Amino acid sequence: MTAQRPERRTLDASNHAAIDETSARYDGWRIVAVCFLVATFGWGLGFYGQSVYLAELHRLHGWPASLISSGTTFFYLFGAVLVAFVSEAMRALGPRNCLLAGICAMAAAAVMMGQVDSPWQLYLANGLLAFGWAGTSLGVITNTLGLWFDRKRGMAISLALNGASFGGIVGVPLLVIAIGHFGFPGAMIAAATAMLVSLIPVILIFVGRPPQLASLAAGSPAAEAPSAARIRAQALRDLGFLTVSIAFALVLFAQVGFIVHLISFLDPLIGRNSAATAVALLTAMAVVGRVLFSTVIDRLNQRLASAISFASQALALVIIINSRNDVVLIAACALFGFSVGNLITLPSLIVQREFDPRSFGVLISLITAINQVTYAFGPGVIGLLRDASGSYALPFYGCIGLQLMAAVLIMVRGPKGV
């Protein structure tokens, strides 16, 4: 899959000749560490935390799961709208202020979530949490790292986004333990305090002026970048961009929906403990896959790597649907998980390689928003299909179809020079 770096669709306006991104002393690697911590809390409280909030609010107030989960859907959809404009916020405020704003919003939302005692407050808390998610998740992290990295951007993003998996592996169990000791309101206050104390000092110390911003101030050609609105309008008419955004939206719809329903599917087959083991192994393999890919991902044909990743998940789903053996099911979950982390990283690398670097932040924010709007409906649609058909076979085969469609679509790059 090794390939020469193809020509971008417009003139590459960046200049990184004076920056050695391979040096361990390069300041960008400190930004990677900061983004790892941001991702840990962002995914721990924003993405994975939603399952904890649903369980606790149902236990405390007896609200139906449909009501609480509708608040989660609102969080994803409103967050997707906000993520689409992360690039403009970064240009106006700078990476440090955007990260600080996202952290403060998420901490405030976490405290508010612990105090919710009526449905309208749930929606208010999820709305504020969406602001925090926009300022701590994929859009802001890839935009931030894009200011420090070019040639090693794939490795940087892959390493930083391991924090997302860490947030699920460590953050959620710690949150559950804290709820057991302090109650739901107290645990959310503790989590918010830990976030503020851990992140604000390191951001203030390490997130300074990016080298690319210095070049903009010097009057480089990159300073003449087109407006964000124009970039978005052109992207939505560009075949290469559409094939990337649609392919990953289809796959993430299937991936998120499958993972949310995985324990429900496996529990009657292999028991709750083995099902939990399968989920834990899936998450761990996401980290392994991301770390292994980070060492070579910048040298791969990234569209082909994406297609193979999609197909591997489809193969894993075929095995999961048709097997009843504990070991085989757990191994298939591990196979599925190996590409989970890379499907978050690959879109940004394809955009970096194929499009004007001045458009990188806007395009990544747009793809992230499209993906988030799409996968927000994944769990609900799979649940509806499961209820209508009486089993998970129909919705999981539907996921396989989406993944194979995406594997074909991602290989369509469109005409050069667009």
Count the Cβ atoms, other than its own, within 10 Å of residue 417.
8
Query: 63 exposed, middle or buried (CB, 10 Å; 0-12, 13-18, 19+)?
Result: middle
More reliable by pLDDT, 58 or 403: 403
| Chain-centre distance for alpha carbon 208 | 24
Angle between helix axes 138-148 and 95-115 (nearest 10 degrees) is 160
Q: Is the pLDDT of residue 156 over 70?
A: yes
pLDDT in tens, 105-117: 999 999 999 999 9
pLDDT in tens, 351-365: 888 888 778 888 888
- Highest mean pLDDT pick, 130-134, 155-159, 233-237, 365-369: 130-134
Q: Residue 237: which pLDDT band, with cuts at 50, 70 and 90?
A: confident
pLDDT in tens, 6-43: 545 543 334 444 566 667 678 889 999 999 999 999 98
Q: Is the pLDDT of residue 307 over 90?
A: yes
Compute the distance between CA of residue 259 and CA of residue 282 in angstroms, rounded to an integer.
Answer: 9
Span 325-337, mean pLDDT? 91
Q: Is the pLDDT of residue 217 over 50?
A: no
- Highest mean pLDDT pick, 46-55, 282-291, 392-401: 392-401
The per-residue pLDDT for 10 is 44
Q: Is the pLDDT of residue 212 over 70?
A: no
263 neighbors 276 (Cβ within 8 angstroms): yes
248 neighbors 367 (Cβ within 8 angstroms): yes
More reliable by pLDDT, 326 or 401: 401
| Residues in Cβ contact with 246 at an 8 Å cutoff, skipping those fewer than 6 apart | 406, 409
351 neighbors 367 (Cβ within 8 angstroms): yes
Q: Which domains does the chain have, with CATH numbers?
A: 26-224 (1.20.1250.20), 227-412 (1.20.1250.20)
DSSP letter at 299 equals G
> How confident is the prediction for the chain on average, in pLDDT?
84
Q: Tokens at residue 299, please?
A: 């040298």
Q: Is the pLDDT of residue 2 over 50?
A: no
More reliable by pLDDT, 65 or 368: 368
Compute the distance between CA of residue 281 and CA of residue 244 in angstroms, rounded to an integer.
Answer: 28
Backbone angles phi, psi at 2, to 5 degrees: -65, 135
What ranges in 116-171 are assigned the alpha helix state H? 119-134, 138-148, 153-160, 162-166
Look up residue 183 and give its amino acid: G
| Residues in Cβ contact with 126 at an 8 Å cutoff, skipping those fewer than 6 apart | 71, 72, 74, 75, 78, 109, 113
The per-residue pLDDT for 213 is 45
The per-residue pLDDT for 225 is 62
pLDDT in tens, 47-93: 888 878 877 888 888 888 778 878 888 898 898 889 888 888 888 88
Q: Residue 215: which pLDDT band, with cuts at 50, 70 and 90?
A: very low
What own/partner pairs with CB < 8 Å and gap ≥ 24 does 47-51 have? 47/133, 47/137, 47/164, 47/167, 47/168, 48/167, 48/168, 48/171, 48/172, 49/110, 49/171, 49/172, 49/175, 50/75, 51/172
The percent of residues in the chain predicted with pLDDT above 90, rounded, is 36
C-alpha pair distances (Å), 87 with each of 14, 83, 231, 346: 17, 8, 11, 19
Q: Is the pLDDT of residue 396 over 60?
A: yes
The per-residue pLDDT for 226 is 74
Q: Is the pLDDT of residue 97 over 80?
A: yes
